[in-house]
Structure 1
């Protein structure tokens, strides 16, 4: 793809590289030294580092063959977040090769301050139309803020087809020191669907979410923000969302992780998935309509409760 493309000065650049499979990736860098790496395979964010080089996203050490995405990072789940129906589990977008969007329609300028970003585009292939007929376009902007925040903005269009419905999720694998030392705040008293109990609906009773076993829930209509607190590392991830009513929280724990071909031994301890989603009430688009969502993740170098944070 050529040499690095400078966005505003010598410290802020967009650089194109290739992974071991020959797939194009883009590296975003801000002036402070923070970075984010995005793969055109799946439109997946596979790395997000602080200015000090700390990695914020978990990626499994076990590499799978293309075209499957590697487990970890931030995967785009569309047009479903489940394993029901004829579509592949969590949708096909994460296993498709995206292209660079050369002329995206204007967005509200998250990057008006000069933050580096990349715009990607996914259009239906002939194979998609056999299993999922709508005429859609899915656009993704990944932006690395000057303060190191990571923002993902997605838009889905119904170009000219019949009305269609879909679910959507940012499946975000956050890197943690030890899952047993992690707590999540901001989901107290919220209803959730528990995938370990046939998606039965319950109400969260605890003051915070902690982990002692397999965990697989979708919290419904949850407020902003959500804080993922890693006591041992003294790091807090703050997750803010727009257009994403639900929050997915997942960790496979030991038995399920051992059965996963793309999860290394004991690696479940170093990750937790917490991501914005629309699952319980799928989106329906009529011809010409569009839907937009935004996920912003901040990594703070301290542990604090989520009380008082605002979107």
Structure 2
């Protein structure tokens, strides 16, 4: 069967490719393409819906905030880092199988638990679309027409790309970020201009954590000594994040497997600045597509 729904996960299959999605957070926890696993998930992660913690790895969905919630807005004062979408249990709303591929649509609406930390109404739909050569992830946000206020939010698809055998984070570079302004969360610098054509995934103690603003809709990740590249094509998400904690900080992450920081690089499509403000009856869509080129 192209779609297999269990009590904890949904698996999509298409030829030799497959995608597995945990119902907790609608988190993509596996993407097998061309016989290889392309995503990193820490072995210490708990994918069960009965567990309240976020999954470390795969593609966690950050919403309605990215990073720590802003301290100057009471609406977000009860939220944890990256919001509640990545820890909430989503429902399967639809599934489709066609010549173009296999897709499953997940849905999240306010539950009593969500209402206790976030008072505004919303509807989120998240489509995981497995195609012969690509994986397409689409987040759709709606503010109901019955709402009495605008819906503000940030969003990110926090993608952990598994590195090829023998490749470490400092062997990875990203094209497409030259001349962009970025905030550096490691140094604390704000609105610095990137002057490099290829941004190497390295920094103080090996750590890099940057938000690049108004990033182009196509970014390419390259691996030293490897012909294959990862191409990310996005729309709706204005910004991009490059992140790896490095060995010093990575070894302090409680749910990170031993040495796990050396096995992935995050290159994510996100909407960080400014917040999106959706008026009642309006919607927003962000799409993130992953493909591999030789």
Query: Is there any run of 5+ residues in structure 2 with no aligned partner, and where?
Result: 72-76
TM-score scaled by length of structure 2: 0.89
- CA distance in structure 2 between the aligned counterparts of 1:158 and 1:194, rounded to whole angstroms: 32
2:100 aligns with: 114
2:195 aligns with: 205
TM-score scaled by length of structure 1: 0.84
Q: Secondary structure at the match of 1:95?
A: coil
Q: 1:136 aligns with which of 114, 122, 126?
A: 122
Cα deviation, residue 233, structure 1: 4.4
Cα deviation, residue 189, structure 1: 1.3
* Cα pair distance change 1:112/1:241, threshold 3 Å: farther
Whether 2:153 is the aligned partner of 1:166: answer yes
Q: Secondary structure at the match of 1:180?
A: helix
1:155 aligns with: 140
Q: Please, which moves more after superposition, 35-44 or 121-130?
A: 121-130
Whether 2:185 is the aligned partner of 1:195: answer yes
2:74 aligns with: none
Residue deviations 1:278-309 (CA, integer Å, cap 9, x gap): 00111001111110110000022x3xxxxxxx
2:27 aligns with: 44
Q: 2:11 aligns with which of 18, 24, 27?
A: 27
State the 4+ residue runs in structure 1 displaced beyond 4 angstroms: none
1:291 aligns with: 284
8 Å contact 2:9–2:21 — kept in the other structure?
A: yes
Q: Secondary structure at the match of 2:116?
A: helix
8 Å contact 1:115–1:143 — kept in the other structure?
A: yes
Counting matched residue pairs gives 276
Cα deviation, residue 163, structure 1: 1.0
2:64 aligns with: 79
- CA distance in structure 1 between the aligned counterparts of 2:275 and 2:116, rounded to whole angstroms: 21
- CA distance in structure 2 between the aligned counterparts of 1:235 and 1:264, rounded to whole angstroms: 26
Cα deviation, residue 199, structure 1: 5.3
- CA distance in structure 1 between the aligned counterparts of 2:62 and 2:114, rounded to whole angstroms: 15
8 Å contact 1:180–1:269 — kept in the other structure?
A: no
Residue deviations 1:28-87 (CA, integer Å, cap 9, x gap): 1113x1111111110000000113x20110111223471223210001100000213421
8 Å contact 2:174–2:221 — kept in the other structure?
A: yes
2:267 aligns with: 274
Query: Is there any run of 5+ residues in structure 1 with no aligned partner, and where?
Result: 5-12, 18-22, 104-108, 303-311
Q: Please, which moves more after superposition, 93-102 or 124-133?
A: 124-133
